[in-house]
Every structure is written in C-alpha cells, then in structure tokens.
C-alpha cells in the first residue's frame, strides 16, 4: 500500500496516513474524560456541559481519519447546511414543528409545502444521516430539538440572513488574501466579502439590499440566547455602577445603545430594569431603525451614523453602550467611533460599556475563534485580545479602561471605560 503514492515525490507525507485515525493514541483518554464529564453533568454547570461537548468533538476528530474529516467538511457539513437553508426558506421546519413530535412522511410534507417529494426526500435523508433528524422509516422522519428550533427566527434565520448571503466571503478568503500578499487585512473598504461578491457594500448593506435584512436582525436578536447578558447580576453590577448616582430627572439620558440594531438589547434591559431614572435611547442607521417592528414605546428611536457627532451630548448620558459592533471594524474606524463617544461623555459621570469578546491569548473557545474568522473574512476586522483592546481604547482613543468584567468562556466581556478629561 505504501506504493500508492510512490509517484508523488513532492508529497511530504505518505498517502497511508489519510486513512488512519487522526490521533489514535488520544482516543482512550478522551473517552474516559467524556464518560467522567457526562457522569457529572447532573450536578454540573452549563460551563461543564460545554467542556464535555468540546471533549466529545475532540474524541470524534481523534477517531476519524483525515479522509473522513475532509469528506465530512466538503460533502457532509456543507451539504447539510445547504439542505437546512432550503428547509428554512421553504417552511419545512415551521411545518414540522407545528405537526409536533409525531413521525412525518416526506410525501405529506412535500404536498403541504408545494415542493417535489423526491427533492425533499433527498434533502431530509442527508440531514438525517448527519444526525440532525430522526429517520423512522423510509422517507419518514421525526423532528429533533434542533429541527424544531430551526422554526424559530432567532435560530433558523441565521442560516438565511447570515450564512446564505455571505458564505462566499469566507470560502474565497484564500483568494482575496493571496491577491493581497497574505497580509492580515485591516481595511474596512476592502473585505473578502466585497471581493467574493464583486460589491463595495459592507455586510449590513449587502444583506439588507439582497432582501434579507429582517432575517439578519432576527439572528442578531438571538445572538446571546442561553448566554449570560452584560446586565446579569453575575456579570456587571448595574445598580451599583450605573443606577446609583445617575441623574434622577426623567428627561436625563440614561443609556444610549449605539449600533443597537432593532433594539433587542434595550428591550431586555428595560424588562429587567423597568424603572431606571431617565431615558433609554436606541441609535442605528436609518435602514435599521426603519426595520423596527415591535419596540417598547418607552425606548427612544434615533437614526444615527456613528461617524457623525453624537447627538446625546451636552446633557450627557450616564451610559453609552456598544455591543458586538466594534468587532465589525478595524482600528481606524473604531477610533473614529470612539472619538465621537468620548466627546459626548461627561467626565466623572458618563461611562462607556463596550460589550465585546476579549480573545484569550491561549486556549480560546471555538465560538470566539469562529467569530474571529467571520470578522476576518466578512469585515477585515477581528476579535481583539486584551492587549489589542487596551491599545485601541487607551492609546488610540484616549479613554481609560476602569475594569474588564468577564462573563465566561465564549461570551462577550464588559469593558468599562471613562473619559478622564
């Protein structure tokens, strides 16, 4: 067998390794760790569950061969993602979820959806083979928790509004990068997304103009599902740091959410703290503000481009809040955004809360590194390390970081800043 690639003199390794387990020697140890982790799940935390999940993935990867890993990526996962998106777009997941937990025949589903049963059968067969749907009989399936959740806009619409609209930016990043001499990209006007689709639009305008802005916003609204929020007592002490000593007059601006999308964070904040002193203000581009469907009337909507002078100035807000927005932009743009916030902050009163990922220097969680890949390939930006955050906020923007409040693995921290001057 060793002769199989004898002709490939430039190959640095023998072809045989492609059909041997990736890390065979790690399998027994990982299996033990998985068993131990699973046994302690009933008394463990969600962090413990996440650790077991990482081990399970490592176990599967160690056991499979390089060829199987490649085929999993290039046939299995990509095919499943395409089939899942079809299911979101055609209404399959909503229909199945409405039908309940019973087993469901492809022919019946196809008639209700108005799609070719042969086509639907092929797609569902693959989704089931990938472990995401339960096959009960030939062309008959039972939903799983996952496929039921795909009927929710916060889960299903991520596939439509994000992945389906932008994936070429990621998959053609190598080409974009090669043409730019393999350098780390840092120009917001030159992204792999723009290269792949031949556009000069940034992701938000691109997706909006394709007609999927609403789906992208639904995905953003579900971004923090099941993860601690910045306002949770275990993450950031809202009362002690913000509410106490805030200007009590009803027209004083309390919290301004800059780039707050359609207001999901402010809605959550309002429901947890319904009687904070002063006003809650949502700022985003007109195209986003116009897409707001339901927003508590107590929350003020304000069209605003963060490159311009901050309108909540003079009578400064107690809190300027930025969530998952600076990571979309390289340092030069962030510097300009922060300069506008700094001008508006009242020294000794206002705080800026930056709710963003702090990339650890090692042992990063895959959710954090995955997000960094998105920033790299869709925005020419990055998930910043604490060194990069200090450099941006203190050295470049001239603000002071008071404290970084951590919210756990793979979750955005709260970087609390003040303007000392």
Ligand X SMILES: C[S@@+](CC[C@H](N)C(=O)[O-])C[C@H]1O[C@@H](n2cnc3c(N)ncnc32)[C@H](O)[C@@H]1O
- Please, which residue, 52 or 312, has the CB nearer to ligand X? 312
User: According to CB under 6 A, which one of 33, 218, 284, 416 is a site residue for ligand X?
Assistant: 284
Comparing every residue's Cβ against ligand X, the nearest one is 259
- Please, which residue, 112 or 154, has the CB nearer to ligand X? 154
Smallest distance, ligand X to C-beta of residue 135, A = 37
User: According to CB under 6 A, which one of 146, 197, 223, 349 is a site residue for ligand X?
Assistant: 223
CB 295 within 8 A of CB 301: yes
Q: Which stretch binds ligand X (CB under 6 A): 76-84, 254-262, 270-278, 388-396?
A: 254-262
From residue 175, how far is each of 70, 179, 190, 192 by CA, in Å? 20, 6, 13, 9
CB 52 within 8 A of CB 3: no
Q: Which stretch binds ligand X (CB under 6 A): 5-13, 142-150, 235-243, 255-263?
A: 255-263
Count of residues binding ligand X (CB under 6 A)?
Answer: 19
Residue 285 binding ligand X, by CB under 6 A: yes
- Please, which residue, 92 or 322, has the CB nearer to ligand X? 322
From residue 222, how far is each of 123, 155, 259, 263 by CA, in Å? 26, 7, 16, 12
Active-site choice (126, 195, 264, 327): 327
- Please, which residue, 212 or 304, has the CB nearer to ligand X? 304
User: According to CB under 6 A, which one of 123, 167, 288, 312 is a site residue for ligand X?
Assistant: 288
**Contact flags string 319-338 toward ligand X, x per CB under 6 A:** ----xxx--x----------
Task: Give the pair of three-digit tokens for residue 201.
Answer: 């639009």
CB 407 within 8 A of CB 235: yes
Q: Which stretch binds ligand X (CB under 6 A): 75-83, 182-190, 283-291, 401-409?
A: 283-291
Task: Give the pair of three-digit tokens for residue 142.
Answer: 């039972």
Q: Any idea which residue has 């699973």 for tokens? A: 38
Smallest distance, ligand X to C-beta of residue 369, A = 18
Q: Which stretch binds ligand X (CB under 6 A): 3-11, 22-30, 184-192, 281-289?
A: 281-289
| CA atoms of 85 and 106, how far apart (whole Å) | 17
- Please, which residue, 270 or 323, has the CB nearer to ligand X? 323
Smallest distance, ligand X to C-beta of residue 328, A = 6
Active site residue 327: yes
User: According to CB under 6 A, which one of 260, 326, 331, 380 is a site residue for ligand X?
Assistant: 260
Q: 10 Å Cβ neighbour count for 268? A: 15
Q: Return the residues of window 303-322 that contact ligand X according to CB under 6 A.
A: 304-307
- Please, which residue, 268 or 400, has the CB nearer to ligand X? 268
User: According to CB under 6 A, which one of 104, 147, 192, 261 is a site residue for ligand X?
Assistant: 261
Residue 87 binding ligand X, by CB under 6 A: no
**Contact flags string 146-185 toward ligand X, x per CB under 6 A:** ----------------------------------------
User: According to CB under 6 A, which one of 86, 204, 219, 269 is a site residue for ligand X?
Assistant: 204
Smallest distance, ligand X to C-beta of residue 302, A = 10
Q: Which stretch binds ligand X (CB under 6 A): 45-53, 78-86, 299-307, 390-398?
A: 299-307
CB 123 within 8 A of CB 80: no
Smallest distance, ligand X to C-beta of residue 183, A = 25
The sign one gets for the Cα dihedral 83, 84, 89, 95 is positive
| CA atoms of 408 and 191, how far apart (whole Å) | 30
Q: Which stretch binds ligand X (CB under 6 A): 23-31, 69-77, 93-101, 300-308?
A: 300-308
Residue 220 binding ligand X, by CB under 6 A: yes
> Which residues are near ligand X by CB under 6 A?
204, 220, 223, 259-261, 264-265, 284-285, 288, 304-307, 323-325, 328
Instruction: Give the active site residues.
Output: 327
């Amino acid at each position: 067998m060793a002769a199989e690639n004898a002709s490939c003199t430039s190959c640095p390794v023998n072809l045989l390794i492609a059909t041997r387990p990736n890390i065979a020697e790690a399998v027994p140890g990982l299996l033990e760790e998985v068993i131990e982790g699973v046994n302690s799940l009933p008394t463990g935390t969600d962090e413990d569950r996440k650790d077991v999940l990482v081990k399970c993935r490592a176990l599967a990867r160690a056991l499979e061969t390089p060829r199987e890993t490649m085929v999993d990526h290039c046939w299995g996962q990509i095919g499943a993602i395409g089939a899942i998106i079809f299911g979101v777009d055609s209404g399959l997941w909503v229909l199945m979820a409405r039908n309940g937990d019973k087993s469901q025949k492809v022919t019946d589903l196809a008639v209700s959806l108005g799609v070719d049963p042969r086509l639907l059968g092929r797609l569902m067969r693959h989704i089931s083979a990938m472990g995401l749907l339960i096959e009960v009989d030939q062309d008959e399936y039972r939903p799983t928790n996952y496929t039921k959740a795909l009927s929710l806009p916060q889960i299903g619409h991520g596939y439509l509004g994000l992945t389906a609209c932008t994936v070429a930016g990621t998959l053609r990043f190598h080409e974009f990068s090669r043409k730019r001499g393999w350098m780390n990209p840092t120009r917001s006007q030159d992204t792999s997304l723009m290269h792949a689709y031949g556009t000069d639009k940034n992701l938000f305008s691109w997706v909006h103009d394709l007609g999927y802005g609403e789906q992208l916003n639904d995905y953003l609204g579900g971004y923090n599902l099941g993860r601690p929020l910045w306002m949770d007592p275990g993450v950031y002490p809202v009362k002690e740091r913000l509410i106490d000593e805030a200007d009590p007059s009803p027209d004083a601006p309390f919290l301004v959410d800059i780039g707050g999308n359609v207001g999901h964070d402010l809605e959550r904040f309002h429901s947890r703290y319904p009687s904070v002193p002063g006003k809650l203000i949502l700022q985003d581009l007109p195209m986003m503000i116009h897409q707001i469907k339901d927003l508590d009337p107590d929350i003020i909507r304000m069209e605003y481009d963060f490159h311009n002078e901050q309108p909540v100035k003079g009578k400064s807000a107690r809190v300027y809040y930025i969530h998952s927005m600076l990571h979309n932009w390289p340092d030069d743009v962030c510097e300009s955004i922060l300069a506008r916030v700094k001008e508006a902050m009242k020294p000794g009163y206002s705080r800026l809360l930056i709710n963003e990922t702090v990339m650890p220097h090692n042992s990063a969680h895959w959710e954090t590194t995955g997000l960094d890949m998105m920033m790299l390939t869709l925005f020419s930006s990055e998930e910043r390390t604490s060194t990069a955050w200090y450099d941006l906020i203190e050295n470049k923007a001239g603000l002071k970081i008071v404290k970084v409040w951590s919210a756990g693995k793979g979750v955005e921290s709260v970087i609390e800043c003040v303007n000392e001057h």
